[in-house]
Amino acid sequence: MTQRVVVLAQDLIWSDRLARAVTAAGANAVTVTAVDPFAAAISDADAAIVDLTAHAYDGVAAIATAQAAGLRVLAIGQHDDHGLRRRALAAGAERVFAYRKLFEDGPATIAAFLGRT
Buried b (16+ CB within 10 A) or exposed e, 12-27: eebbebbbebbeebeb
Per-residue confidence at 1, pLDDT binned at 50, 70, 90? confident
- In whole angstroms, give the CA distance from residue 54 to residue 8: 9
In this structure, the number of other CB atoms found within 10 A of the CB of residue 90 comes to 11
pLDDT one-digit tens code per residue, 41-87: 999 999 999 999 999 999 999 999 999 999 999 999 998 889 999 99
For residue 116, the model assigns a pLDDT of 56
**All domains in the chain, ordered by first residue:** 4-113 (3.40.50.2300)
For residue 18, the model assigns a pLDDT of 97
For residue 117, the model assigns a pLDDT of 38
Q: What is the pTM of this model?
A: 0.95
Contact 38, 8 (CB under 8 A): yes
Alpha helices in the chain (DSSP H): 12-24, 35-41, 59-68, 82-91, 99-113
Q: How is residue 75 annotated by DSSP?
A: E
pLDDT one-digit tens code per residue, 11-35: 999 999 999 999 999 999 999 999 9
- In whole angstroms, give the CA distance from residue 113 to residue 3: 12
